Amino acid sequence: MLPIVNIAAYKFVPLADLDSRRDFLRELTRSLDIKGTILLTPEGINLFLAGSRESIDQFLSTLREDPQLADIEVKESLSADQPFERMLVKLKQEIIAFGIEGIEPRTYTSRKLPARELQQWLRERDDVVLYDVRNDYEVEVGTFTGAVPAGIDHFRDFPEAVAQLPEEYKQRPIVMFCTGGIRCEKAGPFMEQAGFQEIYQLEGGILKYFEECGSEHYTGDCFVFDKRVALTPALDEAPTALCYACLHPVSVEEQQSPDYNPPRSCPHCYQTAQEKMQRLCDDRNAAIAKVCNPLPGSTPYDNVRPISIPLRLDRHTLGDALREMYPHIPLEELQQLAAAGQLVHKDASVTLDRIVRAGERYGRLFPAQVEPPVSAGIQVIYEDNALIVVSKPAPLPMHPCGRFNRNSLEWILKQVYQPAKPRPAHRLDANTTGVVVLTKSRQVAARLQPQFERDEVEKVYLARVVGHPTWDEQTCDEPISRESQNFGGRTVDPDGLPASTHARVLERLSDGTTLLEVRPKTGRTNQIRVHLW
């Protein structure tokens, strides 16, 4: 005979003194070497326990000494091994979470249909609707033949599932069922409130039906919430396994799949490398969209731009240090900033006669700043433990600078990847759409950024230009100005920085534009625009 007795029981009854009840049941189960879970709530008790026959009998005898629990009904099954790892006695607000006011099984439940009577109905009647109120992953393990599944992932979704049932069901006899009957105690009254005229709940649930009727009218096994995973209609442990990665039941057939790799994956959760990457990118892009709605710089905020004191200015006054660091700013302007409280240190305003120390960080306060709008359609297209690759839209600055701080690629990604600080490995103009590579750590940045600086990383762009070039392929080596011109961009300058760009015609379009493949050999600001002008 199998040595372990497994019991499941519940009762809806008003319970008080839950703390003292918990202490008593903890000590009782410990002394009897019983494992499992007991839920104590103001609306009643629910338990799943396992132990020796002697221990279980002693536990039930003691439990039933409480007049409120004297008639608690128990369902039993046997197993060779202990299906629980530990003993838990928990306090909760509800035996089964439902979230609907006015449903109180201790005062009213739907009519209960004994297992034998349901068996007879299924033999003789064809108008009965069998309604499985369990979660989808439980239904997959087994259910009554022809039953209508609720189609839910959690019992709190049950009200929405009921709303989707055909209107004609309100006039037909509906027998709802679950594992042991507890969910039906709340589901039944709810369906009656929703207008269903003839609701029954299978008394004792599937397990009681197995005990009295076996497998007739039932296909498969019954999922249970312990290490056994599922029970056969004979109440023996089924060969169904549980995936430790996604907690989904895995049938014997599914265990033969190459995608079944315990404890890492099963056919229900296995993903190819490409699928994993796509899911990660989708999650990142959703997070970016959330950060950018509304644009982070569109709401007025106080922006503090940092000022770090170098060693050479140690023990100078703040005024002298600022004039040394920013000689283009007149003293009068610094005085006005200080008087307005816009020179700060650790969120407090400071005066120009303050003595500074090397390494201190001060700030220039820009109160109630609102930044110009940008394009926020950033898309993560690749990510691993070291790198992030995004498609940057235009216009969008790479770094906080000038009029932009929060409305920049670097600031936005920092919010998504905290506590990591993604660092761009190269530059890309604010008005350019293209791929940007970022690093997740200083160590990777120190290795990758120099590769871009040494032109060891090849960059290829698609450019659409107005007009049809007379050439099919050419290289432009015109030097580019070191500073921005009056219009804000760069231009060809004989005394500028060396620059080289190779372009090849891909297609001359009928609208008068041309699609080019462009390979910049150097990385000057506005280089592609200047060379293709």
Task: Summarize pLDDT for 18-53 with one digit per residue, the tens.
Answer: 999 999 999 999 999 999 999 999 999 999 999 999
The pLDDT of residue 533 is: 81
Query: pLDDT (tens digit, 9 = 90+) per residue, 311-323?
Result: 999 999 999 999 9
What φ, ψ does residue 290 adopt, rounded to 5°? -70, -40
Whole-angstrom CA distances from 173 to 129, 164, 263, 333 are: 6, 17, 43, 84
Instruction: Check if 269 is active-site.
Output: no
How does residue 392 score in pLDDT terms, banded at 50, 70 and 90? very high
Q: How confident is the model at residue 115 (pLDDT cuts 50, 70, 90)?
A: very high
Contact (Cβ atoms closer than 8 angstroms) between residue 11 and residue 69: yes
CA 151 to chain CA centroid, Å, is: 22
Confidence of residue 487 (pLDDT cuts 50, 70, 90): low
Q: Is the pLDDT of residue 99 over 80?
A: no
What is the CATH architecture assignment of 111-238? 3-Layer(aba) Sandwich (3.40)
Over residues 221-250, the mean pLDDT reads 95
The per-residue pLDDT for range 300-309, each reduced to its tens digit, is 999 999 999 9
Tens of pLDDT, residue by residue over 172-181, are 999 999 999 9
Q: What percentage of the chain carries pLDDT values higher than 70?
A: 99
CATH architecture of 290-297+373-453: 2-Layer Sandwich (3.30)
pLDDT at position 2 over 80: no
Tell me the pLDDT band of 488, cut-offs 50, 70 and 90. Answer: low
* pLDDT for 83: 94
Asked whether 230 and 142 are in contact (CB, 8 A), the reply is: yes
In 3D space, the residue among 200, 250, 216, 214 whose CA is nearest the CA of residue 230 turns out to be 250
The whole-number pLDDT of residue 163 equals 97
- Mean pLDDT value of segment 387-396: 97
Supply 519's token pair: 């390979």
Q: Look at residue 399 and tell me whether its pLDDT is greater than 80.
A: yes
Other C-beta atoms closer than 10 Å to the C-beta of 53 total 14
Q: What is the pLDDT of residues 506-517, one digit of tens each?
A: 999 999 999 999
Q: How far apart are CA 316 and CA 228, in angstroms?
A: 74
Measured CA to CA, the distance from residue 122 to residue 228 in angstroms comes to 29
Domain boundaries along the sequence of the chain = 4-91, 111-238, 290-297+373-453, 317-367, 461-532
- The pLDDT of residue 1: 60
Q: Which CATH number fits domain 4-91: 3.40.1280.10, 3.30.70.100, 3.30.1200.10, 3.40.50.12280?
A: 3.30.70.100
CB atoms within 10 A of CB 94: 15
Total-model pTM: 0.63
pLDDT greater than 90 at residue 171: yes
Label residue 402 by pLDDT band (50, 70, 90). Answer: confident
Q: What H or E segment, with its residue span, contains residue 337?
A: helix 331-339
Please report how many Cα atoms fall inside a 13 Å half-sphere around the Cα of residue 437, on the Cβ side: 15
pLDDT tens, 325-375? 999 999 999 999 999 999 999 989 999 999 999 999 999 999 999 999 999
pLDDT digits (tens, 9 = 90+) for 187-206: 999 999 999 999 999 999 99
CA–CA distance, 85 with 388 (Å, rounded to integer): 41
pLDDT in the model for residue 489: 77
pLDDT of residue 101: 80
How many CB atoms within 10 Å of residue 146?
Answer: 12
Catalytic pick among 178, 213, 243, 476: 178
pLDDT attached to residue 368? 94
**Structure tokens belonging to residue 497:** 């920085």
pLDDT digits (tens, 9 = 90+) for 204-215: 999 999 999 999
**478: pLDDT strictly greater than 80:** yes
Number of alpha helices (DSSP H) and beta strands (DSSP E) in the chain = 13, 28
Please report, rounded to a whole number, the percentage of residues in the chain having pLDDT higher than 90.
89
Distance (Å, whole) CA 492 – CA 509: 28
At 348, which amino acid appears? A
Are the beta carbons of 438 and 425 closer than 8 angstroms? yes
The reported pLDDT for the residue numbered 511 is: 96
**Residue-averaged pLDDT of the chain:** 95
Instruction: Please state which of the ranges 140-144, 430-434, 437-441 shows the lowest mean pLDDT.
Output: 430-434
> Do the domains at 4-91 and 290-297+373-453 have one common CATH topology?
no
User: d(Cα 186, Cα 110) in Å, to the nearest integer?
Assistant: 9
pLDDT, position 20: 97
Q: Which CATH architecture has domain 461-532?
A: 2-Layer Sandwich (3.30)
Burial class (CB in 10 A: 0-12, 13-18, 19+), 370: middle
Count the neighbouring beta carbons within 10 Å of the beta carbon of residue 60.
16
As a whole number, mean pLDDT of residues 496-521 equals 95
